Structure 1
Amino acid sequence: MIREQFRILVFNLASGIGEFVLLDGRDQVAGGSGLAALLYERYGKHDKPWDDEGQPLIFTIGPLTGYFPLMSKTVCGFRSSYHNEYTESHGGGRTALALQFCNLDALVIVGKARRLSCLYVANRRLELKDVEFMRGMNADNAGKLLRRIFKGGSGHRSILRIGPSGEICSSMACINVDTYRHFGRMGGGATMGAKNLKGIVIHGEGDLELPAGKEYLKVYQEVYDKVTSTDMMRKYHNLGTAENLQTLNDIESLPWLNLQKTTDPGIAQVTGKVFADETLLRNGACAGCPVGCIHIGYIREKAKLDNRYHYHQVAYDYEPIFAVGTMLGVTDAFGVLRILDEIEKVSLDAMSAGVALAWATEAAARGLVSENETLIPLSFGEVEHYRQAAIHLGRGTNEFYRLLGQGTLKAAKVYGGEEFACVLGQEMAGYATGELYFAAQTLGFRHSHLDTGAYSYDQKHTEKDVEKAVEFLMADEPGRALLTSMVSCLFARAVYSDAQLAACLKSVGYTTLAENMDHVSENIRQLRWRVRAATGFRPENFSIPKRFTQVKTWKGRVDPAYMTELKEEYGRRIMALIDAGEKDS
C-alpha cells in the first residue's frame, strides 16, 4: 500500500528516544532529494554551524523504492563540514530497501551521543548501543564486528559505519555502506563523527505489499526488459565505468599528475579492460538492481604475523581509478587497488583523497611542503608511499594531514599552491572536458559531475555560446532532481524517461504525482536551492583555481574568459532561481 504521508523516524542520540512522525508533502517533493531538503528545512539549524548537536543527519528514500529495478539509492542530507552549507550525498547498497522494509520514508538523527555509539533500527526495536571500544577501528573491521553484534537479517540489513577519518571529523570522511558502497562526497562521515555515531544498522523486517492487478506487472516487465535485454545498461555490467578511462584519455580529458596533463600513453596499463582482465574477481549489485555494476577486484598481501598470503577484495570504478591512479601517476592496476584498500579502511572519499594527495605531491616538488609535513616522500607513481599517505590523511597523523583533510584549498591557503589545487567546490571529479564542466561543478548543488550533464555537453560543442550553455545546465537540472527524489540510480537515466516514470508512478498508485512531474521537479529544484541559500550559499564563495585555465582538451586550450562568463552567468541564474523560490514560498 502506498504511503500518502511520509513516515519519518526522528531519533535523538542525546536522549536515546525515537519518535515516529507523519509528514505531508508527497505530491510536492516526491521523496529522496526533495524530502531530504524538506526535512532539513524543518529540523535544520540555519543559524548554527555544521557540527552543532542539533543539526540533523537525514536518510531518505523515494516513492518507487523496492517497486522497480535500480530504484535502489538513498539520499543522505546534512550540513557539510566542507563549506558549512546544506548538501546531499547519494549511496547504494541495501540501505534503501532496509528502510522500505522498516516502513520508513526517512530516518532523521539529531543530538549527540554521550559516548561513541551505534544506532540499531528495526521494525520492532530501536537501540542505541555503546561501542566506545571501537574508537579508532577501521571501517572494514567495524563492519565485521557490527555484523556479529547485531546478528540476523542477512540480505535485509544494512550496515553504515565510519572509520577513523569520520571520528576526527575530516571533511573528506565518507560513510561506508554495507561492503562496497558509500555516501562519499562532502563529508557525511564527519557529521556522524560529530554525533559520536560509529555506525547505523537498519534491519528491515517487514514486507512490501505489491499493487494488485495487471498494470503494475506490465510496467515492471517493461522496465526490467529495458534494463536486462537492451544496450541501455550493458556498459555498466561489462567493463563498468572504468571503460571511460580510455575514452577520456583519447579526447585529452583525463586528469593526470594533478591535472598537469590530460592524456598519457601510460593509460595502456590502467584501462577498464586491463582491470577486468587482470584484477576482476566478480560483479556485485545494490539490493533491487539486476545490473551488477559493482566491479570487485583483488589484491594479495603477506601477513606479518604468520607469513601467509591473504587476499582482499576491493571495489573499483572510474572515479576511484582516476583519483588514485592517473591523478597520482600510478599506472599499475594492482597498485591502484592497494591504495584504494587503505582509503576504504580509513573511510575517506576516494576522489577527494586522491586529488588532495596529488596537490600535496606537486606542493612537495615545488618545495612548499617537506617531509616534516608529509612524513614520507611523495612523488608521482610511488604506490607504497601513497598507501602510507592515505593512512596519515585518514587518521590525521599530524597538523598537515588534519588540515589537508579539511579540504585542499584550506591547506593551500596555509602552505601555498592555491593556483594548482584541483578544486571545483570540492576536489574535482575526473572529467577535464572543458569550460562548462569546470563552471558547473564549481557551482552545482552537490559540486558533483552528476549535478548536470556538462561533461557531456563539453564533448559535443565547440561554439562559445554562454546563453546556450547555461540554458542547458538550467534545463538539465530538474529532471535529475526528480530522479534523485524517486530515488533512482543515475546510471538509469536512459531507462527512466519522463513517460516511463509517469507509468511507474501510476502503476503503484501515485497518480497525482505522475500527472504533475514537471511542476514537482521544478518545486524540488527550488526547494533544494532555497535550503542551501539559507545555510550560506553564494556563487561568489566559490572560485576556479588557475590550474583549470591551463588545461588542454580535444578542443584546444581552455578559454579563461569564456569559463569566467559561464560561471558568472550560471551563478546569476541560480540566484534568480533562489529569489523566485523565496517569493513563491
Structure 2
Amino acid sequence: MIRDYFRILVVDLCTGKGSVAKVEGRNEFAGGSGLGALLFDIYGHADRPWDDPDQPLIFSIGALTGLFPLMSKTVCSFKSPYHDQFAESHAGGRSALAIRFADYDAIVIKGRAERLSCLSIGMKHLEVKDVHFLAGKDVFSTGKILRRMYPGEGHRSILRIGPAGENKSGMACINADTYRHFGRLGSGGVMGAKNLKGIVILGDGSFALPDNKEYSKVYKQVYEKMTATDMMSKYHNLGTAANLNALNELKSLPWRNLQSTRDDEITGITGEKFADDTLLRNAACAGCPVGCIHIGFVREKFMEQNQYLYRQVAYDYEPIFATGSMLGVTDAFHVLGIMDEVEKAGLDVMSGGVALAWATEAFEKGLITEKETIVPLAFGDAEGYKKAVYYLGEAENEFYTALGKGSLVAAAEYGGEDFACVLGQEMAGYATGETFYVAEGLGFRHSHLDSGGYSWDQKNDSKDVEAISDFLIKDETGRAFITSMVSCLFGRGVYNDEQLAQCLNAVGYSEIADSMDTIGERVRAMRWKVRFDTGYDPDAISIPKRYNEVTTWKGKTDPDFMAALKAEYGRRIRNLVSEEALERLGLKKIDKN
C-alpha cells in the first residue's frame, strides 16, 4: 500500500504511551534521510543540548522498503553526543522490514524513562518495560535476554546498547540484530541518555504487494542484476575486506595511527587471509539476496574447565582497518578478538579503534602513562587493546571518559592534537588524499559514504579545486536521494536513476520518480539546514597536522591545495542553505504544527 503522507509513531518514554501522527511531505522528502531531517525539524530542539529528554531519537525507512531487494536499511537521526549537532547513522539488519510490517514510516522516541527500560512496539502494541537488571550488561548478553523476553519469529528486530551507551559515550553505537550497527556519532549514547537499553520492533502486521505486471517485471529485473550478474559479486565473495590489499598497494591504508600508508605485514590481515582462515559463513540483511555480511570466529579458552568457547564476529573492511592496520595488529584472529570486545562494549568500531591508535602514540610519546591507560599500550599488542576497549566502554577513569567524547577532546587535555586522526570524527580507513580528507572532514555525516571523495582520489591526481567541489556537491545529491529510499549503498550500481524511476513507477510513486533530482537537492539542503541550525560551522572544523605528513601514490599531501579545497567546499555547503536556495526548494514553508 502506498500513501502520499508519512505514518509516524511518536513514543513518549515519560508516560509510556504513543500516538500515530500523519505528516505530509512524501513527494517532497521520500523517506529515510529526508524524513529523518524533516522529523527532527518538527520534533527536535536546535537550541537544547543533545541529552535533553525532549530531543527525539528517530528511525525512518523509505518508500520502497519491503518492495525491492536491498531497500533494507533504516536511518537513525538524532542530536549527537559527539558534537551536539544533528546527525544521522544507517544500519541494516531486520529493523527496516520490521518497521514496514508494523505499518510505520518512522518511529520518533522522546522523553526519558524513569528507570532503565526496553521499548517494544508493533502494529497494535506498545510497552515500556523496566529492565534495570540489564544495567551494565554487554551487547551479547542483552540480546540473548531480550530475545527470550520478546519471543517472535519473522520480522522482529532487536536494537540494544552496551555499557558505552549507558555511559553516554560519543562513540557508543546501537547494535542492530547482532551483526549490524547504527555506528557513528553516538546514537547509542542517545539511547543511554533516555534510559533505553533496548528497542524491540515487532513487525506483526502485513502489507499487500502491488498487483500489476509491471511490478513483477521490474522486481525480477532488479533481482537478476543482483544475483545473476557480477554487479554484486564483490560484496558476497571476499566482501569489502578485499580493499585491504588494494589500498595498501595504493599507499592509502592507514597504519599505526596513520604514521604510514603501506606495510608489508598486510599479508596477515588481507581479505583473502580472513576468508581462508576465519570465515564461517555469510549472512544477509532482511530483504537482501546478496549476503555481504562475513562472519568469522574467535576462540576463548576457560582455563579452569580446559574448555573453549567459540564466538561469531562479523567483519568487513572498516573494522579490520580500525582494529588491525590502524593499531598495527597483523594477525586475523587477533583482529577479530579486538572486534569482539568492541561489540560487547557497544562501541563504534572505527571511532574506538582510531581513538586507541591516537592513545597509543600519545603513550609512546610520554603524553599519557599507565596512570591514564591502566594497561600499557603498544602497536601490535592485541591483548592490551582488548583490555583498553573494555575500559573505554566502561568509561573507567577520567582519561577513558574524555577519550569516549572524542580523540580531540582527550588531546585538548593531554596533548597530541597534531596526530589525532579526526576528520569531523575519527577517520574512516581511506588515506587516499586531500579530496577525501576535506570531504570527510566537512561532510554531513563525516562519513566516507557522504560522497565519493575517496574514489576521486584513487582515480585523479588533479588539483582543480572548482572541479572537485562540483563533483562533491553533485555526488552528495544522488546519495541523499538513494539514502531516502533507503537503499543499501552497496547497491547504488544497480539502483541508477533509470532503475529507481522504474521501481517507483511500478509501485505507484510516479511523482517521486518524476522529481528525483529535485528531491535529492531538497533532502541534501534540508539535512544541511538542520545541521547548521544545531551549530555546524565548516570554518570551525580543522584538519589535524598529521594529514599534512601523509604520502600516497600521488605523493605527499599538498597543504595549500587542501586548504583551498576546504575553503571552497565549505563555501559551497554554506550556499546550500542560503535564503535563496532554501526558498527555491520550498523549505521555509514547512509547517511544524
Does the TM-score normalized on the shorter chain lie above 0.5? yes
Q: Match for 2:129: what amino acid?
A: K
Q: CA offset at residue 125 of structure 1?
A: 1.2
Kindly indicate whether residue 93 of structure 2 is the aligned counterpart of residue 93 of structure 1.
yes
1:71 counterpart residue number: 71
Superposed, which structure 2 residues align to 1:302-381 within 5 Å?
302-304=301-303, 306-381=305-380
Question: 1:527–1:581: 8 Å Cα contact kept in structure 2?
Answer: no
1:570 aligns with 2:556: no
Any residues of structure 2 matched to 1:1-40 within 5 Å, and which?
A: 1-40=1-40
Between the aligned partners of 1:521 and 1:380, the Cα distance in structure 2 is 43
Residue 46 of structure 1: CA displacement? 1.1
TM-superposed deviation, 1:208: 2.2
Cα distance between partner residues in 2 of 1:520 and 1:451: 17
State the SS of the aligned residue for 1:20.
strand
Structure 1 residue 304: deviation in Å? 4.6
C-alpha distance in structure 2 between counterparts of 1:392 and 1:179, whole Å: 22
Stretches of structure 1 that go unaligned for 5 or more consecutive residues are none
Q: What do residues 441-487 of structure 1 show as CA deviations (whole Å, max 9, x unaligned)?
A: 00000000000000000111112110001110011011000000000
What residue identity is the alignment partner of 2:58? I
Secondary structure of 2:483's aligned partner:
helix
Gaps of 5+ in 2: 589-593
Deviations 1:379-411 (A, max 9, x none): 000010000000000111111001000000000
2:479 aligns to what?
480
Report Cα offsets for 1:468-523 as digits up to 9, x if no partner: 01110011011000000000000011000001000000101101111111111111
Select between 333-342 and 302-311 the one with higher mean Cα deviation.
302-311
Alignment of 1:219-258 (within 5 A): 219-258=218-257
Q: Which amino acid aligns with 1:230?
A: T
**Which residue is 1:540 aligned to?**
539
Residues 79-132 of structure 1: per-residue CA shift (max 9 Å, x gap): 001111001000000000000000000000000000000000011211000001
Deviations 1:127-171 (A, max 9, x none): 00000111000010000000001112x231000000000000000
Higher mean Cα deviation, 127-136 or 302-311? 302-311
Secondary structure, in 3 states, of the residue corresponding to 1:313?
strand
The residue identity in structure 2 corresponding to 1:20 is V
Query: Secondary structure, in 3 states, of the residue corresponding to 2:299?
Result: strand
Within 2, Cα distance between the matches of 1:266 and 1:304? 31
Corresponding residue SS for 1:459: helix
1:431 maps to what in 2?
Answer: 430
Q: Counterpart in 2 of 1:289?
A: 288
In the comparison of the two structures, how many residue pairs are matched? 584
Is the 1:530–1:581 Cα contact (8 Å) retained in structure 2?
no
SS of aligned partner of 1:348: coil
Question: Quick one: distance in 2 between partners of 1:396 and 1:85?
Answer: 22
Distance in 2 of aligned mates of 1:117 and 1:556: 53
Q: How does 1:96-495 map to 2 (within 5 A)?
A: 96-152=96-152, 154-304=153-303, 306-495=305-494
| Letter matched to residue 83 of structure 1 | H
- Measured in 1, the distance between the counterparts of 2:539 and 2:514 equals 38
1:559 corresponds to 2:558? yes
Question: Counterpart of 2:22 in 1: which secondary structure?
Answer: strand
Q: Deviations over 1:504-549 (max 9, x none)?
A: 0010110111111111111111111111111111101211000001
Normalised by the size of structure 2, how large is the TM-score? 0.98
How far did 1:582 drift? 4.0
Contact 1:249 1:262 (C-alpha < 8 Å) held by counterparts: yes
The 1:518–1:302 alpha-carbon spacing in structure 2 relative to 1, beyond 3 Å, is: same
The 1-side partners of 2:21 and 2:240 are apart by 40
* 1:191 alignment partner AA: V
Question: What secondary structure is seen at the aligned counterpart in 1 of 2:52?
Answer: coil
**CA separation in 2, counterparts of 1:581 and 1:312?**
52
Once residues 98 and 155 of structure 2 are traced to their aligned partners in structure 1, the CA distance between those partners, rounded to angstroms, is 6
Aligned partners of 1:376 and 1:179: how far apart in 2?
A: 29
* Partner deviation per Cα, 1:179-208 (whole Å, 9 max, x = no partner): 100000000000000000000000001112
Alpha-carbon distance in structure 1 between the residues aligned to 2:266 and 2:531: 39
AA at the equivalent of 2:238: L
Residue 45 (structure 2) pairs with residue 45 (structure 1)? yes
Secondary structure class of the residue paired with 2:577: helix
Give the distance between the partners of 1:279 and 1:155, measured in 2 at CA: 29
User: CA separation in 1, counterparts of 2:302 and 2:565?
Assistant: 53
Match of 2:591 in 1: none
How far the C-alpha of 1:231 sits from its partner, in A, is 1.1
CA–CA distance in structure 2, aligned partners of residues 228 and 583 of structure 1:
43
**The residue matched to 1:568 in structure 2 has which SS?**
helix
Distance 2:500 2:239 in 1: 25
Instruction: Output the CA distance in 2 between the equivalents of 1:309 and 1:522.
Output: 54
Paired with 2:302 and 2:296, the residues of 1 have a C-alpha distance of 19
Q: What is the distance in 2 between the residues matched to 1:578 and 1:437?
A: 23
What letter is aligned with 2:70? L
Secondary structure of 1:147's match? helix
SS of the equivalent of 1:35 reads helix
Q: Distance in 1 between matches of 2:81 and 2:306?
A: 42
Classify the secondary structure of the residue corresponding to 2:78: strand
After the TM superposition, which of the residue ranges 520-529 and 246-255 deviates more from structure 2?
520-529
Q: Deviations over 1:322-374 (max 9, x none)?
A: 00100000000000000000000000000000000000000000000000000
* AA of the residue aligned to 2:470: E
Determine the C-alpha separation between the residues in 1 that align with 2:182 and 2:303: 32
Question: Following the alignment from structure 2 to structure 1, what is the Cα–Cα distance between the partners of residues 24 and 52?
Answer: 27
- Helix, strand or coil: the match of 1:482? helix
Write the distance in 2 (CA, Å) between the matches of 1:273 and 1:204.
Answer: 38
What is the aligned-residue RMSD (CA, Å)?
0.7
- SS of the residue aligned with 1:377? coil
Cα drift, residue 307 of structure 1? 2.8
Once residues 269 and 51 of structure 2 are traced to their aligned partners in structure 1, the CA distance between those partners, rounded to angstroms, is 39
- Given the two structures, how large is their TM-score scaled by the length of structure 1? 0.99
The alignment-based identity, stated in percent, is: 62
What is the CA-CA distance between 1:572 and the residue it aligns to?
0.3
Residue aligned with 2:175, SS: strand
Task: Choose 534-543 or 421-430, whichever is displaced more.
Answer: 534-543
2:498 maps to what in 1? 499
Deviation of residue 300 (structure 1)? 1.0
Deviates more, 1:456-465 or 1:159-168: 456-465
Shift of 1:261: 0.3
The alpha-carbon deviation at position 305 of structure 1 amounts to: 5.0
Q: Specify the SS of the correspondent of 1:23.
A: strand
Give the letter for the 2:465 counterpart: V
Distance 2:186 2:70 in 1: 25
Q: Which amino acid aligns with 1:144?
A: K
